[in-house]
């Protein structure tokens, strides 16, 4: 069942407050009248927006996931230890309500951490305690019938396959490719110890190559379709026991040598050395607007030219890199809120305010932030880095938390313990 609710007056960007001059004394009544009149005129000119809310059948202790056009609910264990996965179709834009499609038993294998849809399959991944050994179960997306179950956490690959990374209790592991329809293992490659593979993704976000760093210092690039070793390079000719890390950004393989104070670049295609840059205690590296963002362990960011390794600009401190969109960096400082910076120059473009970011379903989904009002309602906003604005999408009552977003869809648990799905319109 779906209910049409009248929403708050919306549609205006929640821009940062402008700098105000001294307030004129002696005219408080006139200012109040003008403010009240403005609100009345705005409310009269903008009709209340409608939102559709649908209740998802789920217990208070269940976990719900947004995936594709469905909501998947993982029930808590029954007194006998049984668990179930239920699939609900999301309501149409016209408000038909959520509809249960199927209900399937889950294996008793630990805590379920993720449910996603790939190649027509619903894939539920669980982790066992205490060593976080993963296991993935595949269900037919239309019927809920179990197709297969394998150890490991999955990655979709280019060309229609699935990669399973199975890290064992002793730190070793194996990388396998699985045929989605049947679960048949096509090949396996042993993982070095400690097993930390790195992935290169195509334009659709699917893995086409993976990189292994051997304890000897040898870096190996493998084809994700066949498992074949494509090329390798020795990076530790003088020290065979030092700890290193590898990151892949676009067509670069970036090595963080012992000490984490340098970044060594290789071309991914042939593993030819390109440049070495002096950086500060690198934690990880990612692409940001055609540049490289090296994130220090102590916070801040260092932005490098990917062609030369030259540091374009850097800022070390408490600000943390939260997201990258359209050449803009979303930075957050605990207790101070979000700012948007230009990736090329580091210039602060705008202050976006204090928000809690919600998990989004796809990497290109709009960024969604929420915060509480004094009355306990939840403000839902889109953080638009390209436009440099924060748009208020809705203000919702009775929200407890555990929200996920894929605008215009929002999934949350309510204060009364129920789980609900909103279709919002800005």
Question: Whose CA is closest to 222, among 256, 194, 246, 257?
Answer: 246
For the chain, give the percent of residues with pLDDT over 70.
Answer: 86
Residue 112 lies in a domain: yes
Q: How does pLDDT run across 167-222, given as a tens digit for each residue?
A: 887 778 999 999 999 999 999 999 988 778 999 999 888 999 999 998 888 999 99
Mean predicted lDDT score pLDDT of the chain: 85
423 within 8 A of 407, measured Cβ to Cβ: no
Residue 219 lies in a domain: yes
| Residue with the two structure tokens 């709009």 | 366
Cβ contacts of residue 27 below 8 Å, gap of 6+?
Answer: none
Structure tokens at 84: 């179930």
Task: Domain of residue 117: give its range.
Answer: 107-236
Residue 253 lies in a domain: no
Cβ neighbourhood burial of 182 (10 Å; 0-12, 13-18, 19+):
exposed
**Distance between CA atoms of 55 and 201, rounded to whole angstroms?**
37
Q: How does pLDDT run across 380-397, given as a tens digit for each residue?
A: 999 998 888 899 999 999
Number of domains in the chain: 1
pLDDT at 43: 35
Asked if the model's pLDDT at residue 332 lies above 70, the reply is yes
Residue 75 lies in a domain: no
DSSP state of 7: -
419 within 8 A of 55, measured Cβ to Cβ: yes
**Distance between CA atoms of 53 and 68, rounded to whole angstroms?**
18
Residue 251 lies in a domain: no
Within 10 A of 257 (CB to CB), how many other CB atoms are there? 19
Cα-atom radius of gyration of the chain, to the nearest Å? 25
Assign 33 a pLDDT band (cuts: 50, 70, 90).
Answer: very low
Any idea what the CATH number is for the domain that residue 125 is in?
Answer: 2.130.10.10
Asked if the model's pLDDT at residue 17 lies above 60, the reply is no
371 within 8 A of 379, measured Cβ to Cβ: yes
Residue 204 lies in a domain: yes
**Distance between CA atoms of 151 and 252, rounded to whole angstroms?**
31
Asked if the model's pLDDT at residue 228 lies above 70, the reply is yes
Stronger pLDDT, 255 or 361, i.e. the higher one: 255
Assign 8 a pLDDT band (cuts: 50, 70, 90).
Answer: very low
**Distance between CA atoms of 353 and 335, rounded to whole angstroms?**
10
**Distance between CA atoms of 193 and 168, rounded to whole angstroms?**
10
Segment 276-285 mean pLDDT: 92
169 within 8 A of 159, measured Cβ to Cβ: no
Asked if the model's pLDDT at residue 369 lies above 50, the reply is yes
Strand partners, 139: 122, 146
SS3 29: helix
Residue 345 lies in a domain: no
Asked if the model's pLDDT at residue 34 lies above 60, the reply is no
Assign 109 a pLDDT band (cuts: 50, 70, 90).
Answer: confident
Residue 335 lies in a domain: no
Segment 26-39 mean pLDDT: 34
**Distance between CA atoms of 189 and 165, rounded to whole angstroms?**
10
Assign 160 a pLDDT band (cuts: 50, 70, 90).
Answer: confident
Q: Is the peptide bond before 130 cis (omega within 30 degrees of 0)?
A: yes
pLDDT at 236: 80
Cβ contacts of residue 360 below 8 Å, gap of 6+?
Answer: 366, 367, 368, 404, 405, 406
Q: How does pLDDT run across 75-100, given as a tens digit for each residue?
A: 999 888 899 999 999 987 766 688 99
Asked if the model's pLDDT at residue 9 lies above 70, the reply is no
pLDDT at 130: 66
Asked if the model's pLDDT at residue 152 lies above 50, the reply is yes
Range of weakest confidence among 240-249, 276-285, 350-359: 240-249
């Amino acid at each position: 069942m779906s209910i049409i609710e009248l929403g708050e007056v919306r549609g205006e960007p929640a821009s940062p407050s402008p700098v105000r001059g001294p307030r004129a004394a002696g005219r408080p009544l006139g200012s109040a009248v003008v403010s009240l009149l403005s609100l009345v005129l705005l409310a009269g000119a903008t009709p209340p927006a409608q939102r559709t809310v649908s209740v998802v059948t789920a217990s208070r202790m269940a976990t719900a996931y947004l995936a594709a056009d469905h909501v998947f609910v993982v029930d808590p264990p029954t007194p006998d230890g049984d668990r179930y996965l239920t699939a609900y179709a999301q309501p149409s834009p016209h408000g038909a309500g959520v509809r249960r499609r199927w209900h399937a038993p889950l294996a008793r294998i630990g805590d379920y951490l993720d449910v996603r849809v790939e190649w027509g399959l619903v894939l539920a991944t669980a982790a066992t305690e205490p060593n976080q050994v993963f296991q993935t179960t595949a269900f037919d997306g239309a019927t809920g019938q179990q197709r297969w179950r394998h150890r490991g956490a999955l990655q979709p690959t280019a060309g229609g396959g699935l990669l399973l990374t199975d890290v064992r209790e002793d730190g070793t592991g194996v990388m396998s490719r699985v045929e989605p329809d049947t679960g048949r293992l096509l090949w396996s490659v042993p993982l070095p110890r400690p097993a930390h593979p790195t992935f290169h993704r195509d334009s659709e976000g699917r893995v086409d190559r993976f990189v292994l760093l051997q304890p000897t210092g040898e870096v190996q690039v493998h084809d994700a379709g066949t498992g074949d070793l494509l090329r390798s390079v020795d990076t530790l000719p003088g020290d065979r026991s030092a700890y290193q890390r590898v990151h892949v950004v676009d067509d670069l393989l970036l090595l963080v040598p012992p000490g984490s104070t340098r970044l060594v670049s290789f071309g991914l295609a042939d593993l030819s050395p390109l440049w070495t840059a002096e950086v500060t205690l690198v934690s990880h590296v990612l692409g940001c607007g055609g540049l490289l963002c090296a994130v220090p362990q102590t916070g801040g960011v260092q932005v490098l030219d990917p062609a030369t390794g030259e540091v374009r600009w850097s800022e070390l401190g408490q600000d943390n890199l939260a997201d990258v969109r359209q050449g803009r960096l979303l930075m957050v400082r605990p207790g101070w809120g979000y700012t948007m910076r230009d990736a090329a120059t580091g210039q602060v473009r705008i202050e976006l305010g204090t928000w809690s970011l919600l998990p989004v379903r796809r990497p290109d989904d709009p960024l969604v932030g929420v915060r509480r009002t004094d009355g306990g309602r939840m403000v839902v906003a889109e953080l638009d880095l390209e436009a440099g604005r924060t748009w208020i999408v809705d203000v919702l009552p009775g929200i407890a938390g555990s929200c996920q977003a894929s605008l215009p869809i929002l999934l949350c648990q309510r204060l009364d313990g129920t789980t609900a799905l909103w279709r919002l319109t800005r």
